[in-house]
Amino acid sequence: MKSWGARLRQAVNQFYYPRISLKITLIYAAILCVVLFVTSAITGAGVYFSFYHQAEIEMELSIRNTLEKVAQGRLFTPDFWKEDPLLPGVVLRVTDLSGRVIIENDARYPSIEKIESNLREKPPLFANPQMEVADLRNMSIYYAKVQVMQNGQLYGLHFFKTITAEKAFLRTLLWVLFITNIIGFLIALGAGFFLSQRVLKPIRTLTRMARRIEAERMGSRIPVSIMRRDELTELAETFNHMLDRLQEAFKQQKQFVSDASHELRTPVTVILGYSDLLGRWGREDPEVLDEGIASIRSEAENMQQLIEELLFLARADQKRQVLHKERLELSELVADIMKKMQLVATKHEVELRRNDEGEIYADPVSIRQMLRIFLENSQKYTPEGGKIYACSEREEDCFHLVLGDTGIGIAPENQEKVFERFYRVDSSRTKEDGGAGGTGLGLSIARWIAEQHNIEMTLESDLGEGTEIHLLIPLLEPQEPTVKE
């Protein structure tokens, strides 16, 4: 059970940061409401205007007809109505100077005084300014007054037109519009709610699924329908792809840890074995003592190298491996490394075939490390008497550096895999050869270094023939190629 404080906090939170479904519903309802209101207002105003306008036209026509008759000399006697100049519904009263009614066509109509005393102060905006509007009980009356001279006498012509029926209609119309607006608003609320629920359903599924997927159960994916293709499908797909990548990275990490511990276990076991041996017989037997010490040292060296490599990769993964790039004369570096190789690989024929001059922009320590990795592999996987060679050729905007050997080669199906961490074509082979057993990390480190220097690296190898590593190292400034004698 949640505490009252927590509930209150949640309610306040929801008020300030409403759920998307609520927002959609309200926005939908508000938009519909505005549309309904504007349409109703325009309809109402239009109908209202057209009624008043109609009444005005009828009044104007009647006034014009009457004035024409007066101009023709028709006298204000009951004969005046013989050819009625008025349109149906229009009432005329003629008064003399004293205000007495001389003739009228509808005696039941309210008196002029009564109408004049009830004139609206402000007639409707769009009404003809020459006319006035009077409100009597439940009816409105249009009123216009014209003065004419006849036989030297001044007469007042008072025209009236009732718009009662229209007013009642207008009131009904306003009510209908008001009720329609309310119903429309309620429908908009309902429809908005329904729509938002429908639209957001996949998002809720997504959230539920995401909650269920944990680091340990990364196998499940959000179901993506093939039929529907919208933004949410894209989101689900992106999410699934992200999970794929995470799962892969997670798996690799697990594999890496397990491989690393496995690799460390072997030398530790060997060291323990030899220390036991030394403890039992080593004190008396100098031969056992020498062998034991030599083996322990060699295993410890293996371990040290492995730990160095692991640390390097860990720093690279965490982007903490610092590179100090500088201008470097590649030919000097290659010459130096090959000279050292000649000293170390005494059982092989080491040859520097060509070494063009030119500068590159690189971290000297890492570049040396990378070249050493390739050359040590050549030394390790080339039988005695075989060749290890290097050839550095300057091209238009890069160096083409080849490091090769005439060793055992790598089968085509393994050529991609040798760059993976801990991968060895035949893990038992190196140990049998009597050399230090490799860990399978060398080439993955070399690949990382190459990537950091934009060096394009390809491996060419034929089983039993030999292996060549081709490196395209970007030049610092393109210059005319010169061959070092």
Binding residues (CB under 6 A) for ligand ATP: these are: 309, 373, 377-378, 380-381, 405, 407-410, 418, 423-425, 438-443, 467
243 close to 213: Cβ distance less than 8 angstroms: yes
Distance (Å, whole) CA 115 – CA 123: 14
Q: Minimal distance in Å, beta carbon 378 to ligand ATP?
A: 5
Closer Cβ to Mg ion, 85 or 438, answer by number: 438
- Residue 352 or 408: which CB sits closer to ligand ATP? 408
Which of 381, 389 has the CB closer to Mg ion? 381
The entry of Mg ion, ligand ATP, none that residue 381 binds, CB within 5 to 8 Å by partner kind: ligand ATP
CA angle at 68 for the pair 62 and 74, rounded to the nearest 5°: 105
Give residue for tokens 């109703």: 40
What dihedral do alpha carbons 116, 117, 118, 124 form, nearest 10°? 60
Select from Mg ion, ligand ATP, none the partner in contact with residue 386, using the beta carbon and a kind-dependent cut-off of 5 to 8 Å. none
**Minimum CB separation from ligand ATP for residue 407, in Å?**
5
Report d(CA 146, CA 63) in Å as an integer. 8
Burial of residue 146 (CB within 10 Å: 0-12, 13-18, 19+) is: middle
Q: Interface with Mg ion includes 442 (CB under 5 A)?
A: yes
The reply on whether position 461 binds Mg ion by CB under 5 A is no
Q: Which helix (H) or strand (E) holds 3?
A: none
Kindly write out the interface string for residues 420-439 of this chain, putting x where it contacts Mg ion by CB under 5 A and - elsewhere. ------------------x-
Whose Cβ is closer to ligand ATP: residue 361's or residue 423's?
423
At residue 462, what are phi and psi to the nearest 5 degrees? -125, 130
Minimum distance from residue 432 beta carbon to ligand ATP (Å): 13
439 binds, among ligand ATP, Mg ion, none (CB under 5 to 8 A by kind): ligand ATP
Instruction: Say which entry of Mg ion, ligand ATP, none residue 141 contacts (CB below 5 to 8 A, set by partner kind).
Output: none
Provide the β-strand partners of residue 134.
Answer: 119, 141
- What character string, x for contact with Mg ion (CB under 5 A) and - otherwise, covers 349-378? ----------------------------x-
Q: Coil, strand or helix: which one is 390?
A: strand
Draw the binding track, 96-125, toward Mg ion (x: CB under 5 A; -: no contact): ------------------------------
The smaller minimum CB distance to ligand ATP, of residues 62 and 378, is found at: 378
Which of 69, 417 has the CB closer to ligand ATP? 417
Structure tokens at 208: 């539920």
User: What's the CA gap between 387 and 381, in Å, rounded?
Assistant: 11
Residue number, 351 or 395, with CB nearest to ligand ATP = 351
Query: CB of residue 405 vs ligand ATP: minimum separation in angstroms?
Result: 5
Q: How many CB atoms lie within 10 A of CB 241?
A: 11
Alpha-carbon separation of residue 261 from 67, 173, 310, 410 (angstroms): 117, 86, 11, 27
Separation CA 184–CA 172 (nearest Å): 18
By a kind-dependent CB cut-off of 5 to 8 A, residue 36 interacts, out of ligand ATP, Mg ion, none, with none
Query: Tokens representing 363?
Result: 């971290």
Residue nearest to Mg ion (CB): 442
- Least distance from ligand ATP to the Cβ atom of residue 299, Å: 14
Contact 140, 123 (CB under 8 A): no
CB of 337 to ligand ATP, least distance (A): 16
Kindly state the smallest distance separating residue 305's Cβ from Mg ion, in Å.
Answer: 10
Give the torsion sign (CA, 203, 205, 208, 210): negative
Which one of ligand ATP, Mg ion, none is in contact with 440 (Cβ closer than 5 to 8 A by kind)? Answer: ligand ATP
Binding-site size, Mg ion (CB under 5 A): 3
Least distance in angstroms from the C-beta of 197 to ligand ATP: 56
Helix (H, G, I), strand (E, B) or coil at 153: strand
Which string of DSSP letters, residue by residue, matches 413-448? Answer: GGTTGGGSTT--S-HHHHHHTTSPPP-S-HHHHHHH
Task: List contacts with Mg ion (CB under 5 A).
Answer: 377, 438, 442
